[in-house]
Amino acid sequence: MNPAFPSEGILVALWLPVDSGGALDRAALRRHFTWLRECGIHGVMALGSSGRFPLMDVKWRRGALEFIAELAEGLPVIANVSDIRPAVVAELGRAAKGLGLAGISVMPPWFYRVGHDDQLAFFEAAAEAADLPVLLYNFPELTGNRIAAGTVAAFADRHPMGGIKQSGGEFDYHRELIALAREKNFAVFSGADTRLPEVFELGAAGCIGGLVNIVPEYMIAQFNHHRRGVPMEIEPTRSRMAEVGRIVDRLPLPVNVMAGVEARGWKAGADVCVVSAATRRHMDETVSALRESFASWGLSPGPCAQPFAASAG
C-alpha cells in the first residue's frame, strides 16, 4: 500500500548532493537519508527549494524522484513538480503517480505575473495530470506570485487538497491559512523552521523545512511537545534553533542549507549555482560557526541525538 498524504509532522525539504559532474551523489544521499530516518522524520518533500530543483533538467528530476522513492521505503514522499512549463509539471506529476508517491507539490509559475484565475487553472491542470493529493506551495519571494486565500479555497473546493506550505516573510499569513484549513479540511505546513513553537501554537500541522536536513532532533522534539503533548524540556530547542537561524541567515537559500549540511558532517556535494569568492568565504565562516555550536550541543553525524529528556513539568 502506498503511503498516505501526511496530515501532520516534520518533513524534510531534502538536500540533494551532486558530484563534480552534476550527477546525483546517491551514496552521499543514502547515508544522509538513512540518518534522517533514524532521527524520526515523518516524510519528505523531494525536489523542493532546498533541493535546487530549478537548476535541474526534467530527466535529472525524474531520476532523483525514482531514487528517493526507493530510499523512502514507506515514508510519505511529496514530489515538488513545480515549473514554469505546464508540460513539465504534468510529466513530473505523472511520474510521481507512477512511483506511488503520496502527493505532489506545486508553486505558481514564476517570471510572468499570474493572477487568481490563471493560478487556479495552473493548479487544476497539475492536479488532473498527477491524479494525486496536492500541496500548494506559497513562497512569493521566490516565485513573484503570491497564492491568495481565495485561490486556496477555490482549489480546495474542486480537487483533493492535502495542504499548503507557507514559506517566506509573511508570517502572519499562517493565521488566515490555518483558519481556512479548518474549514476546508487540509493541513498547513510551515516553512518557518526557526519559529515552530509559534506556528504550532497557531495550529499548524507541521513543518517542511530545509533545516530538517541539519537539526532534525530539535524540530521533531518541538513537534512532539506542541502537537503530541510529549513533556520535555523545550526551551533549549527554541534558543538553539534561533541560534542556527541567526547563523545560516548570513547566506541566501540554497547555499545556507548546503553550509548546514556540511557543518553537521554530511557530504554536501558540489556547487550547482555560480558562487562568488565572497560568498564562498561567507560559507566557510558559516560552516565554522555552526560546527562550533553543534560541538557545544553534543550534535554529530553519528546516532541521532536525543537531546532533551522528558520531564514532569
Q: pLDDT tens, 243-300?
A: 999 999 999 999 999 999 999 999 999 999 899 999 999 999 999 999 999 999 999 8
Q: pLDDT tens, 150-176?
A: 999 999 999 999 999 999 999 999 999
Q: 310 pLDDT exceeds 60? A: no
pTM (predicted TM-score)? 0.96
What domains are defined for the chain? Answer: 9-230 (3.20.20.70)
Which residues have C-beta within 8 Å of that of residue 246, sequence separation ≥ 6? Answer: none
Whole-number pLDDT of residue 50: 96
Whole-number pLDDT of residue 82: 98
CA–CA dist 32, 38 (Å, integer) = 10
Q: What is the 3-state secondary structure (H, E, C) of 150-199?
A: HHHHHHHHHCCEEEEEECCCCCCHHHHHHHHHHHHCCEEEECCHHHHHHH
Average pLDDT score over residue span 142-152: 98
